[in-house]
Chains A and B, each alone.
Chain A
């Protein structure tokens, strides 16, 4: 199958690759760029483990071809920590025990970061609705909600 050259700015670094048009963005991120923090949990866009930011918006990278991201900026979980300082969402998940096996966690955190960018002070119902496209089998979501509330407060205080 013919290959196509793509350019993606991923976590601030310019990357290029020759990929088949059918290559999913999540496989490009994991297998081509070697960033394995983004996970795959289903085949039907339900679980959200593969959530990344495409030009700042959260998307499920299992449902986009890599060629569709050509010329875009992608942020993955590996791009959250800046200059050795954890993002408040990362801090919140650690502090409030918002993860157990850790498999859904990167996608869950990427969705959370996008939520707080849009709504700095979300209600609990708004948080629950926002993460309803991310499945977690371990935590029962209560501590995830608390983690996001922790991060929201931190961000509002200008952390």
Chain B
């Protein structure tokens, strides 16, 4: 609301992800690869192995070209991108941690200088001096990770910082150490992985292939421990997001494990066992697996932080939590400084609101496209849902705007698809009922699933009994929207819910994890006027055990 929103044609978050995944992939190699280089150089010099030393020189050139150029500049790319897509969140982090960033820059400066000198002085410096430069590089690179890790983890778990802005508490926050362990292990895995990229055709080929495999295995043993530790320190809302069974999260989890296992298998089979098999196409697959592994990790890290960009402070759509109440009271027209159109009555106003409030994560079509998500919504229903948007699955920020804004955005969302004219017959009643359920109820409920299941409420109810409840929904709970679907759709919906809720459950089905009315979104509601940020922070930092009780 404070800054203009860059309308780049797709969600800004996707752009951040693209730049970040590639940067993280290379920058972690920059840390682990430095360690690998200097350790391998030491080994080559100790054993007087000319072939291995020649490999180190070649690898060092590749290392410098990749990390100094792409690694360093893509890091600046993240700076640029986050400032363009999430200026409020970026500004928050800068103001909280500028000195830590300055310290990180010092290590970055030393790292760059050392990398240049290391790559250029193989022939001119003595063996000992050259290795000193290598160790200086590695220490500076790892310290750079040590510092930046504090800022990255703060975004998810700001910890004690919220209670008095203690820098140490924010830096050494609950997920700091597990994340550092995981990232260091990932750096070791990537050091091994990249060893294969410059694998020599002869000479030290077998030795390097086995070294690469060993490094990958060493990192891969530690990484799951770090991830397990990290997941134990996640705030409750992240745990719930993780356990909701959202398709993309499931894919990211499976992808992360799959890519990691595939990379390990390739390294073990084509590296340690049969180095001759490590041909260029296999190396390409290996590198892609590495990118997949990092991509899955970054996706999860981002997703589990939703609805926040910076937990408790700034939402994923770059609206400050502290400003939501004022924007809701005053309306977007009076609050936003850069609306593309000045007239709230104009037909474009709804689209402006969509861009401003939803554009960071959603587009109309494509990835996270809204059109398919709002299929079947009418303007009144959409406006009503917006009032409860942060209640859906808990990953959405609250809508910041007044009633007029909600209506305008609701109208825009409802207009993304043609109006429904369903022909409901006895034969397709169940299918149509499911369609209506997915459109009207499925964003917040399942019938027999783990997320806010309706079975407990409607088990043993008839279709007519289910249908009787619909008009009273909003009266029963202030979190429910008015039910205003046409009568034939209501009938099909009642039929579907009654049918599903009375299906026999498969044996060994786990009991529903969350009762119908559980409102886990209260953990991420905005701070209300008069409520202290500290009180809110406690809610956001709750451990799963506390919250379940």
Genuine A/B complex: no
Q: Using CB atoms and an 8 Å cutoff, list the residues of chain B in contact with chain A.
A: none
Query: Chain A: residues with CB nearer than 8 A to chain B?
Result: none
